[in-house]
Amino acid sequence: MDVFEAVESRIACRWFLDKPIEPAIVRDLVERAARAASGGNLQPWHVYAVTGAPLAEIKRQVAEQIDGHDPRGDEAEYPIYPKAMWEPYKSRREQHGVQLYGALGVARDDAAGRLAQYKRNFEFFNAPVALFVAIDRKLGPGQWADLGGYIHALMFLARSYGLDTCPQESWARMHAIVRQFANMPAEQMLFCAVAIGYGDHSHPANSFRSPRAAPAEFCTFFGFD
């Protein structure tokens, strides 16, 4: 698989097959993704990779916490989004919701259906492997951007093993449980999780392709004519 195909075929995979991943593949991905660039080569990512019984245990702990409870109200240690959204981001986010819930057959006013889908984040969408990605809380926006680079390198590399991924900021809301579970030092802050597995491409949650704005909407070209 070449790099164009890896980028083109990556999706936020929201359901995975019951198929384990060879542990050596996960170790390889974690290592290779660290070829991502970072300002000053700080390599500011901290990764906790979880599978098997430990994965089942963290899922169990979170299931207990969110039972009868709406986790969308739980605060992460950083503001995942601004409190109010404006254009063009507001419409893009709404469109994303329409696509996702439309594919799942969850109606706009079906609050319980939407909550149930959100809660599937905390099952890692059935993925056999999960990463928690954390950063030193004293680092700033430049290093947070580096985390994005690491995560994307890993997600693209995963495609070359035929694996799918889903980055999950939702897990930042479970920071207290993750911290205790992973023995995460106090100076680190949980950014997100990444689910990894073999995607179930027949599942409705994976049946749509997210749109992108045309370059004219986000890029100003000088001297390319």
Ligand X SMILES: Cc1cc2nc3c(=O)[nH]c(=O)nc-3n(C[C@H](O)[C@H](O)[C@H](O)COP(=O)(O)O)c2cc1C
Q: List residues binding ligand X (CB under 6 A).
A: 11-12, 14, 96, 121, 166-170, 192, 210
Q: How far is the CB of 222 from ligand X (least distance, A)?
A: 28
Q: How far is the CB of 19 from ligand X (least distance, A)?
A: 20
Mapping DSSP to helix (H, G, I), strand (E, B) and coil, where does residue 51 land? strand
Nearer to ligand X, 23 or 88 (CB): 88
Q: What span, in angstroms and rounded, lies between the C-alpha atoms of 117 and 53?
A: 24
CA 62 to chain centre: 17
Nearer to ligand X, 21 or 100 (CB): 100
Q: How far is the CB of 179 from ligand X (least distance, A)?
A: 18
Nearer to ligand X, 23 or 142 (CB): 142
Q: Terminus-to-terminus CA distance in the chain, angstroms?
A: 32
Angle between helices 52-66 and 175-182 (to 10 degrees): 150
Q: How far is the CB of 148 from ligand X (least distance, A)?
A: 7
Taking alpha carbons only, the member of 1, 15, 19, 4 closest to residue 195 is 15
Nearer to ligand X, 39 or 148 (CB): 148
Q: What span, in angstroms and rounded, lies between the C-alpha atoms of 193 and 49?
A: 10
